[in-house]
């Protein structure tokens, strides 16, 4: 059955800055969606400017995996919408926050930490190393790939110890960063992936497209077991 992906983007930089618009004429969401469609996923895009921030209940209900890009507008997401995303993850929806989507309300709420880092705008070189070559999100990659010019993110990255550390980045300016981390929250799978500043054509790189495609496959919901919560009767007899 086809995986239903929603690519969500705040879509601010592309509208406000001509160089970003030239780089991503269909928006960052458009570039990501095009790559995923090529790999056979059913993809829709939504942006902050759509009704209910683009994430109304029906859209969420119909989404298997939500790919999320945000940066300057992280605080502009309605709290109610953020909670809707969090609850959908608990119920099994995959969630893939990209770049400074690490500061988005849904990701911060799912982590329970500050998600703080250090950063630098310098256009430096990043080498993304595969730390977990047996992970399906690394399928088909070489042991590293280069992002020629990017914003740096540096450790310490204040997140819970991850289930798996798939990628660790090296930066020309001397820092390191855990760039691809896997989590489970409730029934949902989360893959936090660092690369992707709006000032660089990172989402056009084939390795990045490959990672996103692999991540969507990995993050899709599974049917799971049935669950009862709340007050229940005893299943074994006893004398109280």
Map the footprint of a copy of itself across residues 201-240, applying CB under 8 A.
222-236, 238, 240
By CB under 8 A, tell whether 188 contacts a copy of itself: yes
List the one residue out of 37, 12, 20, 6 whose CA is nearest residue 202.
20
Query: Judged by CB, which is closer to a copy of itself: 50, or 91?
Result: 91
Q: CA-to-CA distance for 123 and 125, rounded, in angstroms?
A: 7
Query: Judged by CB, which is closer to a copy of itself: 37, or 90?
Result: 90
CB of 30 to a copy of itself, least distance (A): 28
By CB under 8 A, tell whether 40 contacts a copy of itself: no
By CB under 8 A, tell whether 2 contacts a copy of itself: no
Q: Which residues of 78-103 are buried (b: 16+ CB within 10 A; e: fewer)?
A: eeebbebbbebbeebbbbbbbbbbbb
List the one residue out of 162, 152, 212 whose CA is nearest residue 182.
162
CB 169 within 8 A of CB 129: yes
Among 40, 49, 148, 156, binds a copy of itself (CB under 8 A): 156
Among 141, 212, 215, 219, binds a copy of itself (CB under 8 A): 141
Q: At 176, is the secondary structure helix, strand, or coil?
A: strand
Among 34, 103, 119, 199, binds a copy of itself (CB under 8 A): 119
Query: Judged by CB, which is closer to a copy of itself: 8, or 153?
Result: 153
């Amino acid at each position: 059955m086809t995986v239903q992906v929603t690519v969500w983007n705040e879509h601010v930089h592309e509208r406000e800055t001509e160089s970003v618009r030239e780089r991503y004429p269909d928006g960052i969401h458009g570039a990501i969606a095009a790559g995923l469609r090529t790999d056979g996923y059913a993809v829709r895009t939504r942006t902050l400017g759509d009704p209910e921030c683009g994430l109304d209940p029906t859209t969420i209900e119909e989404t298997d995996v939500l790919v999320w890009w945000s940066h300057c507008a992280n605080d502009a997401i309605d709290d109610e919408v953020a909670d809707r995303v969090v609850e959908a993850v608990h119920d099994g929806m995959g969630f893939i926050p990209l770049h400074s989507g690490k500061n988005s309300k849904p990701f911060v709420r799912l982590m329970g930490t500050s998600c703080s880092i250090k950063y630098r705008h310098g256009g430096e070189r990043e080498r993304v190393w595969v730390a977990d070559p047996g992970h399906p999100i690394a399928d088909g990659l070489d042991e590293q790939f280069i992002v020629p010019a990017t914003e740096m993110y540096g450790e310490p990255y204040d997140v819970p110890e991850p289930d798996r550390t798939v990628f660790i980045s090296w930066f020309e300016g001397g820092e390191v960063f855990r760039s691809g981390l896997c989590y489970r929250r409730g029934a949902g799978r989360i893959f936090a992936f660092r690369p992707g500043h709006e000032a660089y054509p990172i989402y056009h790189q084939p390795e990045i497209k490959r990672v996103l495609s692999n991540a969507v496959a990995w993050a899709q919901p599974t049917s799971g077991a049935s669950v009862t919560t709340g007050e229940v009767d005893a299943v074994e007899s006893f004398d109280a």
